[in-house]
Structure 1
């Protein structure tokens, strides 16, 4: 990364920038299955919720937020408490610049530090760039839901990938410490 690039924990004040980065993905692509871009207020609530239980990081370049990544609840049932659903978004023109890798590296470290054991990511197909990023970050494909999402006039498949977090093996027996 360049001297002016910094990955840091997000704050509520980053909501406007994150909403601006995300909006084109919602409006113009199937990368997100949301149909309406969230407002800055909605994004602030998402950041606050992620920081309380998981993590949300932003990438600054020259003092301006140009990307973000976050972890959130994979499934609300208690047995899934050690798993997080993760996503990364970068601003226009940031593909293949190392931004996604930098964001994910920081995010995955923070999630592991909180005691989470598994990161999961859903990728709407086709999206070779996202599959490549996830594979490079140690994710492995675990399955594909066929024709599960309807957006922009057609059905889309979603491939799921996962990777372990933290040190040491996941063992059966005594329950793990709850995530922090």
Structure 2
């Protein structure tokens, strides 16, 4: 169990994190509508995702861990917003926190580190989609400078129902 005093480190994600990152993501696939993936992944299936987030450039992966023993508490990413070339200065960002690590500022630490890492990149805007309802995520994004720009109604179907997605943007 994570205590309030647990030291947290944030660093770029590495290939050795793949199993733990896959397990964390699969929790959200199985248990929530936070992601619209509907089938769990093997680490090998997630490897291309991990490798698409190098330690430099506009598409990053930041990982929060405990110091010793090292346990993954969450991760944040910046990924291509869309594939067409004119979108190259925009990224889609996301943050996932381990279920037992919520409400301890891990999401804030991850996003802060991500935006610091991106500060020297040729980027103009960050976008984040939040499946609703998710008050904690909306508060986190607003606290970090995102503003709500619109909501896609009933855009995804998971667990036998339709979900709305609120879109947020942040100048970079």
TM-score (normalizing by structure 1): 0.87
Note the C-alpha offset of 1:3. Answer: 6.5
Aligned residues between the structures: 165
Partners of 1:97 and 1:30 lie apart in 2 by 22
SS of the aligned residue for 1:38 comes to: coil
Structure 2 counterparts to residues 1-180 of structure 1, below 5 A? 4-51=7-54, 53-62=58-67, 63-165=70-172
Note the C-alpha offset of 1:13. Answer: 1.1
SS of the aligned residue for 1:145 comes to: strand
Note the C-alpha offset of 1:53. Answer: 4.7
Note the C-alpha offset of 1:133. Answer: 0.7
Post-superposition CA distance 1:57-87 (Å, at most 9, x none): 1001132211111110100111110000011
In the alignment, structure 1 segments of 5+ residues that lack a partner are 166-180
Post-superposition CA distance 1:138-164 (Å, at most 9, x none): 100000001100001101110000101
SS of the aligned residue for 1:122 comes to: strand
Post-superposition CA distance 1:76-101 (Å, at most 9, x none): 11111000001100111211101000
8 A contact 1:119–1:162 mirrored in 2: yes
Note the C-alpha offset of 1:42. Answer: 2.5
8 A contact 1:54–1:114 mirrored in 2: no
8 A contact 1:88–1:103 mirrored in 2: yes
When the two chains are superposed, the root-mean-square deviation of aligned CA atoms in Å is 1.5
SS of the aligned residue for 1:31 comes to: coil
Note the C-alpha offset of 1:41. Answer: 1.6
Partners of 1:53 and 1:161 lie apart in 2 by 18
In the alignment, structure 2 segments of 5+ residues that lack a partner are none
Partners of 1:50 and 1:160 lie apart in 2 by 22
